[in-house]
């Protein structure tokens, strides 16, 4: 063997030793459960008795299951709301912090972003108290300003439970969209704005014709990521309403878990997980395509 081959072989062995620990962990505790999930979804199993192979039956049942579609619709509602509330609000704050003259930018960014670092249980406790029918801040405030008739048991009302949870979630999520928009806006060359000002463009025209076109890709990226997050909503719903009242706030991940562990339909719960996973996978592939487009553009 010539020395070049020996060198290449040595480099390969060395590379394997560097990658092996990560590969082992990833294969054993991520790829294996993912493969096992698909296998489980093809069986009927209560978690104890022998498993029965049923092929696509779980998926056929899923397709006809009105509860699954109800949960799915709730996630879709969440997506639509998310595109308007936290994305728009995050963008507005990012514009305020980057394009307007004000003092203490870092301080404000720190404060705005703060809810993002709290655990979802902390947020659930805060908002559970705000929504409390008797002592809650929301009803107290409404009573104080004479709007008693609007006071509600927010989380116990089937028309308000889902929107109330969504507002609590938005309180966390806008910070995430904000920091990404800030990074995007800081990347725009000031020259374009100066040119527009000389041409007499007002703030709105600058927003419409410079700012938005420049961050279009990041905007799409954030909308896709927000959609992915919206389909994984679990913690707040689990803690505050557990999907109630009467499934009014049931979301897909919660339905997956309760099918598998509360109703002992492990195969069916797995089929829900596969459906959810595939949906998110498609969105993620779109996202990666966008990222690559981003890289090529820059």
Least separation in angstroms between CB 30 and another protein: 4
Least separation in angstroms between CB 61 and another protein: 16
Least separation in angstroms between CB 25 and another protein: 5
Closer by beta carbon to another protein, 108 or else 160: 108
Least separation in angstroms between CB 264 and another protein: 12
Closer by beta carbon to another protein, 79 or else 126: 126
What SS3 state is found at 55?
A: coil
Closer by beta carbon to another protein, 6 or else 159: 6
| 275 contacts 62 by C-beta, under 8 angstroms | yes
Give 36's contacts (C-beta < 8 A, 6+ positions apart).
Answer: none
What SS3 state is found at 270?
A: helix
> How far is Cα 85 from Cα 258, in angstroms, rounded to an integer?
29
> How far is Cα 123 from Cα 142, in angstroms, rounded to an integer?
22
Least separation in angstroms between CB 235 and another protein: 5
Closer by beta carbon to another protein, 115 or else 243: 115
Whole-Å CA distances, 162 to 157, 267, 290 = 9, 28, 31
Give the chain's radius of gyration (CA, Å): 25
Closer by beta carbon to another protein, 7 or else 159: 7
């Amino acid at each position: 063997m010539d020395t070049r081959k020996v060198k290449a072989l040595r480099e390969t062995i060395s590379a394997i030793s560097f990658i092996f620990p990560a590969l082992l962990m990833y294969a054993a505790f991520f790829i294996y459960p993912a493969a096992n999930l698909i296998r489980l979804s093809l069986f009927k199993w209560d978690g104890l008795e022998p498993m029965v192979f049923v092929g696509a039956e779980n998926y056929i049942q899923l397709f006809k299951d009105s509860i699954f579609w109800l949960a799915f619709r709730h996630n879709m509602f969440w997506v639509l709301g998310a595109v308007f509330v936290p994305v728009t609000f995050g963008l507005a704050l990012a514009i305020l912090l980057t394009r307007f003259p004000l003092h203490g930018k870092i301080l404000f960014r720190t404060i705005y972003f703060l809810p993002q670092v709290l655990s979802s249980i902390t947020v659930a406790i805060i908002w559970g108290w705000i929504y409390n029918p008797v002592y809650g801040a929301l009803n107290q405030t409404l009573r104080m300003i004479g709007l008693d008739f609007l006071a509600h048991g927010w989380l116990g009302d089937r028309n308000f439970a889902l929107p109330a949870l969504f507002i609590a979630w938005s309180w966390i999520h806008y910070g995430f969209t904000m920091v990404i928009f800030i990074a995007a806006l800081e990347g725009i060359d000031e020259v374009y704005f100066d040119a527009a000002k000389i041409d007499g463009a007002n703030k709105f025209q600058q927003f419409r014709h410079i700012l938005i076109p420049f961050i279009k890709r990041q905007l799409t990226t954030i909308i896709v990521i927000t959609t992915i997050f919206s389909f994984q909503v679990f913690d707040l719903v689990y803690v505050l309403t557990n999907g109630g009242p009467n499934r009014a706030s049931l979301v897909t991940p919660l339905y997956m878990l309760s099918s598998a562990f509360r109703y002992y339909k492990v195969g069916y719960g797995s089929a829900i997980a596969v459906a959810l996973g595939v949906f998110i996978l498609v969105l993620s592939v779109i996202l990666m395509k966008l990222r690559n487009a981003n890289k090529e553009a820059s």
